[in-house]
């Protein structure tokens, strides 16, 4: 049959098709982020790198919803806000350590995910975009107007001023604020926090999500994204599949919200605007929907650009450039910078075709002969 003869011709050069290349790059990246504080642990660097890792975590969460399940979520930051507020309220109202608030954050996000996703995921998927946009606004407005007092009567959630004095993470008697002494080297709070966030972002965000995507559930997500009817015909309940994607995305965003709240040690409702949701979406789309390396790079890109653009005016106008980039990417490279279907960004279809053509030209007669065989 045709496949036997045509398939090898379409193949890319062996090394670009080798997953080990990807592994090596992943190791380089991991080593880099872990070694970085040894090179530069200035407050500024640690601050924006921690933020960048939170973006990576958020990006991987949104990647499940947009990249794998193909659902457009424009209010993703709502769950991030829910996570931040839930951990703030739980730790301050009940005086529990930060880690004990994690289950609360997870449950709150699951409930919110079911409330929003439950009814709308039954509809055409483009309605989800607008509902999530509306939901994002609801959460933002609610956050701005919300005032709750702690059980002891002191103000806890203070409307437009948000929350202050968020608990730092502490385990047993040891808190991040105490720092850490290893072999005479003192590691301060900010660096510990960076390592903490990086580890969570890499383990739960990057590796966790890509593992999920390669399993049974991940295959179902992708199937639903590519063709909903065909997925149903394969015995996949498309509705529950979509809702699991939505909820997992929500939980990941909630955890990111908790991390962010503990980084700032306060919560400001102004940070939960649509722009932030759009920024994470851009990270996913520009990087490559459904592509782990793409989303990691995309998230680093959108979060680090303001720091990299020395020119103040450029940094100020970045949303204009992001908008243009978004349209350009969709028009000319819809799979993003690092397509999920390719091992490396430059092993794209064009090169692929060019190589095929060159091979075909070289092989010349052979290929024509085998093609004739196929259609005898």
Residues 22, 24, 31, 234: which binds other proteins (CB under 8 A)?
234
CA dist., res. 126 & res. 75, Å (int): 13
Comparing CB distances to other proteins, the nearer of 37 and 288 is: 288
Residues 218, 257, 288, 298: which binds other proteins (CB under 8 A)?
218
User: How many alpha carbons lie under 13 Å from residue 90 in its C-beta half-sphere?
Assistant: 21
Of 66-95, binders to other proteins (CB under 8 A) are: 66, 70, 72, 74
Per-residue contact flags (x/-) with other proteins for residues 303 to 322, judged by CB under 8 A: --------------x-xx-x
Residue closest to 167 by CA, chosen among 63, 77, 231, 263? 263
Beta bridge partners of 147: 158
CB 277 within 8 A of CB 74: yes
Residues 165, 177, 237, 270: which binds other proteins (CB under 8 A)?
237
Of 19-58, binders to other proteins (CB under 8 A) are: none
Residues 112, 278, 283, 295: which binds other proteins (CB under 8 A)?
278
Under the binding rule (CB under 8 A), the answer on residue 233 touching other proteins is: yes
Residues 155, 306, 323, 364: which binds other proteins (CB under 8 A)?
323
Whole-angstrom CA distances from 346 to 286, 333, 338 are 15, 12, 8
Under the binding rule (CB under 8 A), the answer on residue 227 touching other proteins is: yes
Residue 20 tokens, joined: 């080990």
Residue 238 tokens, joined: 């498309």
Residues 180, 304, 326, 351: which binds other proteins (CB under 8 A)?
326
Under the binding rule (CB under 8 A), the answer on residue 357 touching other proteins is: no
Beta bridge partners of 170: 175
Of 169-208, binders to other proteins (CB under 8 A) are: 208
Residues 54, 163, 231, 283: which binds other proteins (CB under 8 A)?
231
Beta bridge partners of 216: none
Residue 305 tokens, joined: 């650009």
Residue 85 tokens, joined: 């507020």
């Amino acid at each position: 049959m045709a496949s036997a003869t045509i398939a090898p011709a379409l193949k890319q050069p062996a090394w670009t098709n080798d997953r080990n290349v990807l592994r090596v790059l992943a190791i380089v990246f991991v080593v880099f982020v872990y070694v970085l504080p040894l090179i530069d642990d200035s407050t500024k660097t640690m601050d924006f790198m921690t933020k960048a890792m939170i973006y990576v975590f958020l990006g991987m969460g949104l990647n499940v919803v947009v990249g794998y399940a193909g659902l457009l979520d424009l209010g993703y930051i709502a769950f991030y806000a829910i996570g931040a507020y839930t951990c703030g309220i739980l730790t301050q109202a009940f005086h529990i350590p930060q880690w004990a608030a994690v289950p609360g954050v997870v449950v709150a996000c699951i409930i919110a995910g079911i409330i929003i996703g439950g009814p709308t995921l039954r509809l055409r998927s483009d309605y989800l975009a607008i509902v999530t946009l509306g939901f994002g606004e609801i959460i933002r407005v609610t956050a701005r107007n919300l005032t709750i007092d702690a059980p002891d009567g002191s103000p806890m959630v203070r409307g437009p001023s948000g929350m202050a004095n968020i608990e730092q993470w502490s385990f047993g008697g040891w808190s991040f604020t105490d720092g850490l002494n290893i072999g005479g080297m003192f590691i301060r709070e900010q660096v510990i926090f960076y390592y903490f966030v990086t580890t969570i972002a890499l383990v739960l965000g990057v590796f966790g999500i890509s593992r999920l995507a390669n399993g049974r559930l991940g295959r179902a997500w992708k199937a639903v994204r590519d063709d909903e009817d065909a997925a149903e015909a394969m015995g996949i309940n498309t509705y529950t599949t979509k809702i699991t994607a939505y909820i997992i995305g929500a939980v990941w965003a909630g955890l990111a919200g908790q991390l962010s709240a503990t980084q700032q040690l306060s919560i400001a409702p102004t940070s939960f605007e649509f722009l932030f949701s759009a920024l994470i979406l851009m990270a996913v789309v520009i990087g490559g929907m459904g592509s782990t390396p793409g989303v990691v790079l995309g998230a680093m890109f959108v979060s680090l650009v303001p720091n990299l653009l020395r020119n103040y005016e450029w940094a100020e106008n970045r949303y204009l450039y992001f908008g243009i980039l978004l349209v350009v990417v969709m028009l000319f490279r819809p799979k993003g910078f690092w397509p999920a279907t390719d091992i490396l960004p430059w092993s794209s279809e064009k090169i692929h075709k060019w190589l095929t053509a060159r091979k075909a030209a070289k092989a010349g007669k052979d290929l024509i002969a085998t093609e004739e065989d196929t259609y005898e």
